[in-house]
Structure 1
Amino acid sequence: SSVAYDRQAKRGLVACPRCGSTEITKALMAPNVKNSGEKRRRTRIAATSEPAPASDTALSPPQTTHASMPTSRKEFIKLMEKVRDHVEKNAEYVGPRFAEEARKIHYEETPARGIYGEATREEVKELGEEGIEVYPIPALPKDKN
């Protein structure tokens, strides 16, 4: 909090982690306040009811060191496009009913299948609390064009 910072700074307890200087000042910052449009913002999410078949190596995690990770933004975007294309081709789009459908699958009220759709952050949090694993699907630059 601002008050705690002021107390600690006065006592010389606030220091730069890089150089150790205690000549630290606060900068004017905008608070993290959500506007009404952000409260129910939906994020595209995917859930799978069963693990992918072992023969599906296109999306298998790399078995090598981190040196094999994408080295450029372009390579990373291509990899994310591949992931998203795989989900869209192999799962059912349920749109804003994602949380409802994920629960039905989890509680065996409907046949198990891969699904994707949109969910609010609150819905994603609730699904996690219920033990329902979900994963965000990345928004890509082409989505904004």
Structure 2
Amino acid sequence: MIKFALICDQKHRFESWFQSGAAFDRQVEDGLITCPYCDSVQVAKAIMAPAIARGATPPGQNVPCPGSQTAPQNLETIEASPSLPTGQDDGGLREALEHQRELRRLVIRLHEEIHAHAENVGDRFVEEVHKIKDGVLAPRPIYGQASVEEARDLIDEGIEILPLPSLPDEWN
């Protein structure tokens, strides 16, 4: 396994692990790697400092990984293991990735619409909802925070509320 520092065309930096450099190249070519910040598929390796292990292990001697019994005896075993599917028989991976990208776009768009057309009342949400329900305040679109218990109480009172899904950058 190898970890690469990556950068997208929007200059977002992130890291990811790959089976090999060739596996990275195949996945980039197939559009399987996306920026976790903007979903761009224009991803490349970023400049990074090499991680060089220092120690008393003689050259050519394998060192077991923590938590494992033994290390692989040759690299061919690692290279022969399957990587992510490529080509047309990808087991639906491309479609799943496109659905994920679309879901991210929709959640971001939903947040933009709510922020543009509703007032953020923050932790006063429950209080504001009651004032609107009781006619103390004029009806208006609002959003804010409520505990699970407060949300249940509002629903029990017949007040229709919906949770706002978290943004994609909060999914990690």
TM-score calculated relative to the size of structure 2: 0.41
TM-score calculated relative to the size of structure 1: 0.49
**Structure possessing the higher radius of gyration over alpha carbons:** 2
